[in-house]
């Protein structure tokens, strides 16, 4: 490895918006993230299912068509 072309890898603290902190190695000194495994809905079990209507129902609702 050439020492001139590779960035220096250092210990880094990753801070989430929820307050959780993680220590890892990176080329950046500090990393701030919005979502981590402590607060992400998929990992915490707070994920809710989206109720999607069919295309025809959404079209009728959008353009005010009534079903006759």
Domain count, the chain: 1
The domain in which residue 40 lies consists of 1-46
| Torsion sign across C-alpha atoms 27, 30, 32, 36 | positive
- Structure-block tokens of residue 59: 């079209």
Q: Could you tell me the CATH number of the domain that includes residue 41? A: 4.10.80.400
Identify whether 41 is part of a domain.
yes
Identify whether 25 is part of a domain.
yes
pTM beyond 0.85, yes or no: no
What DSSP element (H or E) covers 59? helix 55-63
On whether the CB atoms of residues 48 and 65 are closer than 8 A, the answer is no
Identify whether 66 is part of a domain.
no
Asked whether the predicted pLDDT for residue 55 surpasses 60, the reply is yes
Confidence of residue 62 (pLDDT cuts 50, 70, 90): confident
Average pLDDT over residues 22-41: 88
């Amino acid at each position: 490895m050439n020492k001139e072309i590779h960035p220096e890898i250092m210990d880094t603290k990753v801070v989430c918006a929820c307050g959780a902190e993680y220590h890892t190695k990176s080329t950046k000194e500090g990393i701030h993230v919005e979502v981590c495994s402590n607060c992400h809905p998929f990992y915490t079990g707070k994920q809710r299912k989206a109720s999607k209507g069919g295309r025809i129902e959404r079209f009728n609702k959008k353009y005010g068509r009534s079903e006759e």
